[in-house]
Amino acid sequence: MKKKLFIIIAMLCIVIGSIGIFIPLLPTTPFLLLAASLFLKSSQKHYNRLVNNRIYGVYIRNYIERRGIPLRIKIFTITILWVGIILSILFATTILWLRLLLFIIAIAVTLHIVFIKSAKDSKKSLNDK
């Protein structure tokens, strides 16, 4: 029963993470990592499918192996984030404090992404060991 519940929650996390690809303030990676963790506890088959998935697997493996994020993905993510935030600020709300909050969140997420090692930098450090 517990394994089935974990599988259902993991599938839900994948759906939410997938939606997060298109919605700037909804994170993708934490939901995919949670799904991987739940699958690891409940179904090796599902875990292997997720980690080896051609779309999601790279993100999960890079995080687990501490390789970082490829620079092109960082640039794409930050660009999509700011386009979404600017459109939200201009068209989705007229409330000043909410606009400021969106702007502050965008800055925080941008800084978080910038300070994550780039995949290229991580490979250098792995070769040095």
Quick one: three-class SS letters along 73-101? HHHHHHHHHHHHHHHHHHHHCCCHHHHHH
Query: What are the domain boundaries of the chain?
Result: 1-67, 69-118
Taking alpha carbons only, the member of 42, 29, 34 closest to residue 1 is 42
Q: 3-class SS at 69?
A: strand
pLDDT of 129 strictly over 50: no
Supply the pLDDT for residue 127. Answer: 39
CA-to-CA dists, residue 91 to 54, 85, 88, 111, angstroms: 35, 10, 5, 25
Mean pLDDT of the chain: 84
CA angle, residues 108, 56, 102, in degrees to nearest 5: 20
pTM for the structure as a whole: 0.61
Contact 81, 104 (CB under 8 A): no
Supply the pLDDT for residue 38. Answer: 94
pLDDT class for 30, splitting at 50, 70, 90? confident
Alpha-carbon distance 12 to 69, whole Å? 24
- What does the pLDDT look like over 95-118, one tens digit per residue? 999 999 999 989 998 998 888 888
Within 10 angstroms of residue 31's Cβ, the number of other Cβ atoms is: 20
pLDDT (average), residues 63-79? 82
